[in-house]
Structure 1
Amino acid sequence: DWSPFFHTWGLKGVYPRILDHPDCGPQAQQLFADATTLLDRIVREDLLTARGVYGFFPANAVGDDVELYTDAGRSTVLATFHFLRQQAHREGSEPCRSLADFIAPRETGLPDHLGVFAVTAGIGLKELCERFRAGHDDYSAIMAEALADRLAEAFAECLHKQVRCQWGYGCGEGLSNEDLIQEKYRGIRPAPGYPACPDHTEKGTLWRLLDVEKNTGMRITESFAMWPGSSVSGLYFAHPESRYFNLGKIGRDQVADYQKRKGMTTAEVERWLGPYLNYDPSE
């Protein structure tokens, strides 16, 4: 998806129409030409390396948590992902959603699975940008970073397509690139730190499950930012009604429940979820 690439440079529009925009079209065309030239060089000279890891795990929902099990017997919990539920007033019959809704509840006895992944296209990016900046070529350094971000997102999209086929429901999709950009497929891949699951600390569980650093070289910082920056991680949900949503504001009652489930203090939860609180923690 090239559109976010142009947004990086402050050009608002949708690719490929932006190339013919009456105002920014010429600038967009020049950027695109420079990008494809550098991309060809990156491929030709192996300047960036993409690495990824993913796995499927037996899973069931327990309230707003999703338990992952060591095997199909589902007697031993391997890890737990903790989710939050929308609390703001919904119009009509619109439900208050949690990502846990898209996994079969444990009490139903239905076997379900959750996919987990982490990918990067940023191995070698730091060194490449340092070379450009050492030659006083900041433009190419920024261009390389923008391309690496697009490659990481493309890697995530490509892997998700492969996963849907392996999972047994996506082999016959026949979707175009535009269809993929518009997410016209079954399933979602939400990422910790984004609107449906805004708690970045859930990345810690993901990293331990897949041994991400050992398998890819990707790391998470103390603030749970991913390194290299051109990286994507998240969860695969296969439920046909799964969808993205914005958590919105949550109250003290849910924070109290969440801190117990997470084994964190209330202050820690409030720090990580600050923008999503419907109250002032200092009051």
Structure 2
Amino acid sequence: GEETAKLFEANAYRDYLELHGLSVQLAEAFAEYWHARVRTELGVSGADPARLAGMLRSEYQGCRYSLGYPACPDLADRAKIAVLLEPERIGVRLSEEFQLHPEQSTDAIVVHHPEAGYFNAGRRS
């Protein structure tokens, strides 16, 4: 965050966008890594798809729900999670707008139930 702010202030917009984009993607990749690790530790990763296309279609058991996305649109719910997890213990704070700072911080609710899904429309029974 500090480095991207410096680039932005220096009008180095291309470098800013590239570094910002990289940091966003790394945060998402790290969240996916932890989701996979949770599935492994719970013993439900055996059916994870072998190919990336299957992973992108969420063809694995469980879901990682992130606030602010269509499955959990109300960012105000993040305050409830913050009360439970106390993110300030690791240097993360919640703004009045329910955004996490530093900017590339992320949180999620991981559900491992076999019927967990993001949306049930079109799901086969």
TM-score (norm 1): 0.39
Cα gap change, 1:137 to 1:197, in 2 (>3 Å):
closer
Gaps of 5+ in 1: 1-125, 247-283
Q: For residue 118 of structure 2, what is the aligned residue in structure 1?
A: 244
Partner-residue secondary structure (3-state), 1:165: helix
Partner-residue secondary structure (3-state), 1:233: coil
Distance 1:244 1:232 in 2: 18
Q: For residue 142 of structure 1, what is the aligned residue in structure 2?
A: 17
Q: For residue 64 of structure 2, what is the aligned residue in structure 1?
A: 189
Distance 2:69 2:57 in 1: 18
Equivalent pair of 1:195/1:245 in contact (CA under 8 Å): no
**Consecutive aligned runs of 4 or more in structure 1 exceeding 4 Å deviation:** none
Q: For residue 275 of structure 1, what is the aligned residue in structure 2?
A: none
Q: For residue 234 of structure 1, what is the aligned residue in structure 2?
A: 108
The sequence identity of aligned pairs, in percent, is: 32
Displacement of 1:221 after TM fit? 0.7
Displacement of 1:174 after TM fit? 5.6
* Higher fraction of strand: 1
Partner-residue secondary structure (3-state), 2:65: coil
Amino acid at match of 1:196: A
**Structure with max Cα Rg:** 1
Q: For residue 264 of structure 1, what is the aligned residue in structure 2?
A: none
Amino acid at match of 2:58: E
Distance 1:175 1:207 in 2: 35
Displacement of 1:134 after TM fit? 5.0
Q: CA RMSD in A?
A: 2.1
Displacement of 1:171 after TM fit? 4.6
TM-score (norm 2): 0.82
* Higher fraction of helix: 2
Gaps of 5+ in 2: 121-125
Q: For residue 123 of structure 2, what is the aligned residue in structure 1?
A: none
Q: For residue 176 of structure 1, what is the aligned residue in structure 2?
A: 51
Q: Note if 1:223 corresponds to 2:97.
A: yes
The C-alpha deviation readout for 1:228-267, integer Å capped at 9, x for no partner, is 2223211111111111128xxxxxxxxxxxxxxxxxxxxx
Amino acid at match of 1:146: G
Equivalent pair of 1:133/1:141 in contact (CA under 8 Å): yes
Structural mapping, 1:111-190, within 5 Å: 126-171=1-46, 173=48, 175-190=50-65
Structural mapping, 1:54-65, within 5 Å: none
Equivalent pair of 2:48/2:55 in contact (CA under 8 Å): no
